[in-house]
Amino acid sequence: MDGLLIDSEPYWRQSMIKVLGTVGLRLTEEQCASTTGLRFDHVLEYWFEKYPWESKSIVEIHEEILDEMEHAITHEAHLMPGVLESLELFQQKGYKIALASSSAMRLIKACVKRLNGESIFEAVISAEHEEYGKPHPAVFIKAAAGLKVHPLDCLVLEDSLMGVIAAKAARMQCIAIPAPENFDNAKFAIADWRLHSLTELASVLSA
């Protein structure tokens, strides 16, 4: 979802820097970007283990950042190029569509509302309450079950390496659409296709 459907990754970094700054943790954008694709509670646990803070609990920090992100998704972040056209293309071809994300369900719902996607997504799945987040495949396997489709018949679109690993672990085909700075990362070779943006999706679906 983040970085694939909506350009919210910069807001994640800004929100983390802002809120974690209130407990004395000074993260850089590069440090925040290093945890892209991980479930958010795991991200906070990671930073707390490296740089323990006081005065606020992890839960309080978690909720403050989600408040910032819900506002950003609803009012500020732009849709990624080609997202509306891609959803329409999938619908025209008769695909069942699920939205499966490591984000909290309230952020996923904010994204669905932003996309006017209430009638588009047949299953909306969050990994926030799964025992394991990406790169574990649980969220994608649950999405396939929600669509009543076998995992081998599923196609996943992912922008993060963690997500691509999860998709392949679920035995699904995967289109990777990495951020420009990560496009040449050789690790994305495990994906079945690698595109620069959703605007190139039609070439894959028509192949």
Q: Are the beta carbons of 166 and 139 closer than 8 angstroms?
A: yes
How many domains is the chain partitioned into structurally? 2
The answer to whether position 118 is within a domain reads: yes
Same-domain check for residues 53 and 121: no
Give me the pLDDT at residue 79, please.
96
Q: What is the pLDDT of residues 72-85, one digit of tens each?
A: 999 999 999 999 99
Q: Average pLDDT, whole number, for the chain? A: 94
pLDDT, greater one: 40 or 98: 98
Same-domain check for residues 58 and 88: no
Q: What is the mean pLDDT of residues 95-100?
A: 97
Q: What is the mean pLDDT of residues 159-186?
A: 96
The answer to whether position 1 is within a domain reads: no
Query: Rounded distance, CA 135 to CA 126, Å?
Result: 14
Q: What is the pLDDT of residues 32-46, one digit of tens each?
A: 988 887 889 989 999
Same-domain check for residues 69 and 126: no
Same-domain check for residues 34 and 55: yes
Query: Rounded distance, CA 124 to CA 142, Å?
Result: 10
Q: What is the mean pLDDT of residues 38-62?
A: 93
Q: What is the pLDDT of residues 106-144, one digit of tens each?
A: 999 999 999 999 999 999 999 988 888 899 999 999 999
The answer to whether position 3 is within a domain reads: no
Confidence of residue 71 (pLDDT cuts 50, 70, 90): very high
Give me the pLDDT at residue 54, please.
92
Following CA atoms 41, 47, 50, 51 in sequence, which dihedral angle do they give, to the nearest 10 degrees? Answer: -120
Give me the pLDDT at residue 207, please.
67
The answer to whether position 15 is within a domain reads: yes
Same-domain check for residues 68 and 93: no
Count of all residues that appear for the chain in the document: 207
Q: At 69, which CATH number?
A: 1.10.150
Same-domain check for residues 89 and 185: yes
Confidence of residue 168 (pLDDT cuts 50, 70, 90): very high
Q: Is 84 exposed, middle or buried (0-12, 13-18, 19+ CB in 10 A)?
A: middle
Buried b (16+ CB within 10 A) or exposed e, 115-154: bebeeebebbbbbbebeebbbbbbbbbbbbebbebebeeb
**Domain span including residue 64:** 9-75
Candidate from 129-133, 135-139, 165-169, 197-201 with smallest mean pLDDT: 129-133
Give me the pLDDT at residue 129, please.
85
Give me the pLDDT at residue 37, please.
78
The answer to whether position 178 is within a domain reads: yes
CA-closest candidate to residue 143, choices 175, 112, 118, 167: 167
Please name every residue paired with 158 in a beta bridge, in sequence order, or none if there are none: 176
Query: Rounded distance, CA 171 to CA 151, Å?
Result: 6
Q: At 110, which CATH number?
A: 3.40.50.1000
